[in-house]
Amino acid sequence: MFLVRLVYASTISEGFGEADIEDILSKAKHHNSQNCVTGVLCFNRKFFLQCLEGSRSKVNFTYHKILNDHRHHKVVLLDYKEIAQREFAEWSMGYMPESSLTTPINTKYSGTPEFDPYAMSGESSHQLMLTLRDSVPIL
Ligand SMILES: Cc1cc2nc3c(=O)[nH]c(=O)nc-3n(C[C@H](O)[C@H](O)[C@H](O)COP(=O)(O)O)c2cc1C
């Protein structure tokens, strides 16, 4: 089946902590490997920006689970496209926390140096993740 890419932004819910991010990443890596879904999760302790790529059915299935997860809210779909190839094929779910390396890159794709995925177009958020992939080690 052909490939799609989905990008969304969301905001952490009240009470979100370190254990939550660890649980999210371990579940994401486990399920995504089984479903042949790949991607990256950017996080600045307030907002998420996530890219999911894989077959349409598996990406949609994963996104529906994510939408129903109470650890975040204000989920906004930024981009959904059929694609010819994956861009994060090496990562069942790469993790990109904000750091001194990622901050300067935000200004290139949004109006402020703050990481605010709601302030980016779908295309800018996608380009931001590609620039991060090429310039910062993904965990
Ligand atoms: C920001 C965020 C990103 C997530 N990303 C993924 C993901 O890429 N793949 C996935 O299977 N679950 C992801 N989850 C977790 C799912 O929402 C859900 O909790 C999990 O898949 C349930 O796993 P379980 O049925 O084994 O308990 C994410 C959750 C959040 C809040």
Give the pLDDT confidence of 55-68 residue by residue, as tens digits. Answer: 999 999 999 999 99
CB within 6 Å of ligand 1 — which residues?
10, 24, 27-28, 31-32, 41, 48, 50, 52, 62, 65-66, 69, 71-72, 93
Helix (H, G, I), strand (E, B) or coil at 6: strand
Look at the chain and report how many structural domains it folds into: 1
pLDDT number for residue 112: 83
Range of the structural domain that residue 19 is part of:
3-135
In sequence order, what are the residues at sequence separation of 6 or more whose Cβ sits closer than 8 angstroms to the Cβ of residue 91?
38, 39, 40, 138
Of ligand 1's atoms, which has the minimum distance to the CA of residue 30? 11
Range with the lowest mean pLDDT among 38-42, 45-49, 69-73, 111-115?
111-115
Give the pLDDT confidence of 5-54 residue by residue, as tens digits. Answer: 999 999 999 999 999 999 999 999 999 999 999 999 999 999 999 999 99
pLDDT number for residue 16: 96
Kindly give the distance from the C-alpha atom of residue 51 to the centroid of ligand 1, in angstroms, as a whole number: 13
DSSP-assigned letters across all residues of 57-98: HHHHHHHHHHHT-TTEEEEEEEEEEEESS-SSTT-SSEEEE-
Element (H, E) at 41: strand 38-43
Kindly give the distance from the C-alpha atom of residue 54 to the centroid of ligand 1, in angstroms, as a whole number: 15
Between residues 9 and 99, the one the model is more confident about:
9
Of ligand 1's atoms, which has the minimum distance to the CA of residue 39? 8
Give the mean model confidence (pLDDT) for residues 91-114: 90
The closest residue, in CA terms, to atom 20 on ligand 1 is 27
pLDDT number for residue 24: 98
Kindly give the distance from the C-alpha atom of residue 65 to the centroid of ligand 1, in angstroms, as a whole number: 6
CATH number at residue 21: 3.30.70.100
Q: At 101, is the pLDDT very low, low, confident or very high (cuts 50, 70, 90)?
A: confident
Look up the pTM and report it: 0.96
The DSSP call for residue 99 is -
Between residues 52 and 104, the one the model is more confident about:
52
Q: At 93, is the pLDDT very low, low, confident or very high (cuts 50, 70, 90)?
A: very high
